[in-house]
Amino acid sequence: MSTQVTDTPTVNSIAPPPRWAIWAAHLTALVVLPSGLWRIALVLGYTAGYRDANFAEFETLGAKIWMLTLSVVCELLAFLTIGLVRPWGEVAPRWIPLIGGRSVRPMAAVVPAALGAAALTWLWSDIPWWWTYPHDDMTATGSLVVGILYQPLFLWGPLLAAVTVSYYRRRRPVPSRGID
């Protein structure tokens, strides 16, 4: 008897995620946290590095709602990365209307995650050079601290990309082996 690879049928790999991917997924949620906490400090009325005269624009209700919303949405999006290494990234939780209990199609997770990784990598690509730009609206200490708090965001896109590739490799359709 010989083994032969056939084009059909295909099955999804159900291999567990590698340990590095699990760590990277959890790290993704953590790299967003410092900047979010800084924005929440602004919402709570701390100048958080801004000069008093420049802080006034952050005291409006609209600005506070925007900063709080941005912080929460960023953290939730980063948390979704964990779904790429957890069972709820393979089978939708039952409580989700319409799709609960169904298998997640790999490309339904891979495409948005890959696009998000590309966008985040582009968006935060200049952050390592934070201190080379003028920040006249901030104190010197404030500029230093904010730069430090925002530096981890540089890793968000690459970490998401790595976890996405790992997810794709585990879930991609692989030809089943038929025996003649």
Query: How high is the pLDDT of residue 8?
Result: 42
pLDDT for the residue 178: 58
Q: Which residues contact 100 (CB under 8 A, 6 or more apart)?
A: 92, 93, 94
Q: What domain range is 63 assigned to? A: 3-179
31 with 153: CB under 8 angstroms?
Answer: yes
Count of positions (residues) in the chain: 180
> What pTM value is reported for the model?
0.83
Residue-level pLDDT at 179: 60
Q: What is the pLDDT along the chain (180 residues), one digit of tens a residue?
A: 444 444 444 444 578 999 999 999 999 999 999 999 999 998 998 888 888 777 877 788 998 999 999 999 999 999 999 999 998 888 888 888 888 888 888 999 999 999 999 999 999 999 999 988 888 888 888 889 999 999 999 999 999 999 999 999 998 877 666 565
User: Could you tell me the sign of the dihedral formed by the alpha carbons of 139, 140, 145, 149, in that order?
Assistant: positive
Distance CA(159)–CA(118), nearest Å, equals: 11
Number of domain units in the chain: 1
